[in-house]
Structures are given as structure tokens and as C-alpha cells.
Amino acid sequence: MTVLTVDVGTSVIKSVVFDAEGREVAVSRTGTEVLRPHPGWAEQDMDAVWRGVVSTVRGALAQLGPGHDAVRLIAFTAQGDGCWLVDGDGRPTGPAILWSDGRAGDLLARWQAEGVLAEAYRRNGSLTCAGMPNAVLTWLAEHDPARLERSHTALTAAGWLFLRLTGVTAIDASDASAPSSTTPRARTTPRSWTCSAWRGPVGCCRASSDTTSASPSSPTTRQPNWALPPVFPS
């Protein structure tokens, strides 16, 4: 069995193919660009990230010679935290705001002084940084409310990749526990989350920690033809 793995990092995207014995047989990588329109900001073009994934996957598969075993499994990982906002059709409403973004730093200082961070930790056992969705969403509510109005779902980088691969909107349970009042043990997510450090409903955070109950997105967001074996949807 041949396994295709994808790693969407902040600075590099890598696709690697392993054979049934776990040996690396092909690798392709491409650099990514972190946009810094203002001091302390860190953003990425979400479509550019996806194009980088497609490019490296094709590059890795092109290195496989004739007669190789068919790819039967895709595994992927990606940079954590951040806020990757999409609309109801699964399209980005702007650049991804990364885990390393610092625009909400003053907001965190205010939360610290007001005891909000302590209450958030009491609820879910997670600490918060400026690049987590609760901080980013609150900053957007104060400084760019129009973007929140356009947004339907807050994803991580992995959630964005999963959406493009499958057409399904979902979030990993551990990722969901950090910015919201859900916990990994509960394995459930309210229809409209209330972020533990954001005072009000987060309508644009509707997503599921369980892909069995996640919502399919528009067919236009499904993966392009990678020339993969028939077991993968095109």
C-alpha cells in the first residue's frame, strides 16, 4: 500500500509518498508566503496555500515510476490555531489570520486584567494566545465587523485542507476545545458556539468536531483532479 502524506507548514508545504514498508519514495516541497500588511500581522492567501498543496502532491506523484502500488491512504497535518474564515459556499472571506499573528495582543492584555483568561482556563483547560480564533474573532468584531458578516465558518489550516479535499466542513476536537467552551471529552459542539473568551455567540464558528455530523459544502470546493487512483474522488 502506498501512502501519500501532506504537511502544510507556515513556511513550507511538503508532500511525501511512503511505500508499504514505510520507506520514503518521493518528496515534493514548495515555500509559502507569510503576508505582513501591518506590523505584528501574519496572514496567508488561503487559495495560494491550496495551490501549493496541489502542486506538491502532483510533484510527488510524478516521481513514482510505472507499476508502483496505488495510493490507498492520504494523511495530512498542518499549522495550528489561527483563523481561516470561509463563507457559506466554503470560499475564503479574506486571508487566513495565522497562529503567529499579534494584532490581538492588546486585547489579551485586557482579558488578563479582567480575569477573562482565568475563566476561560477554568472552563476548558486551554490557554489563549493572540493567534487563536477567540482573540481573532473578537478583534474582527471590533475592527472589521463586515468580514464577520461575510463569514460562516472559522477553520484551522487543517480544516481548510480537509474542506478542499472532501467538501466537508469540520474541525478537529482538540482544535475546537482551545478557543471555545467545548471540551475534547464531550465530543460535541453546540450549533452556535460561545467562545469562552468572547462575550457573545460566534455564528461564524459553526462547525463539527465529528465529521459524521459535519456539513457538506458546495461541490465547487471539492478537490481537483490529481490523477489519483479511482478510490479517490476527483
Q: Tens digits of per-residue pLDDT, 146-157?
A: 999 999 999 999
pTM of the full structure = 0.79
Please tell me the predicted confidence (pLDDT) of residue 127: 79
State the Cα–Cα distance between residues 128 and 169, nearest whole angstrom. Answer: 24
What value does the CA radius of gyration of the chain take, rounded to a whole number of Å?
Answer: 19
Supply the CATH number for residue 55's domain.
Answer: 3.30.420.40
Whether 203 maps to a domain, the answer reads yes
pLDDT at site 145: 93
CA distance 180 to 197: 8
Q: Which domain holds residue 187?
A: 2-221
Note whether residue 197 is domain-resident.
Answer: yes
Residue 233 lies in a domain: no
Query: What is the pLDDT averaged over residues 71-96?
Result: 93
- If one compares 215 and 27, the residue with the highest pLDDT of the two is 27
Instruction: Report pLDDT digits (tens) over 98-144.
Output: 999 999 999 999 999 999 888 878 877 777 899 998 899 999 999 99
CA distance 148 to 85: 8
| 234, part of any domain | no
N residues, the chain: 234
Q: Looking at residue 138, what is its pLDDT?
A: 92
90 falls within a domain:
yes
In this structure, is residue 85 part of a structural domain? Answer: yes
The count of structural domains within the chain is: 1
Which range has the top average pLDDT, 39-43, 64-68, 86-90? Answer: 39-43
pLDDT category of residue 178 using cuts at 50, 70 and 90: low
Q: Return the pLDDT at 39.
A: 97
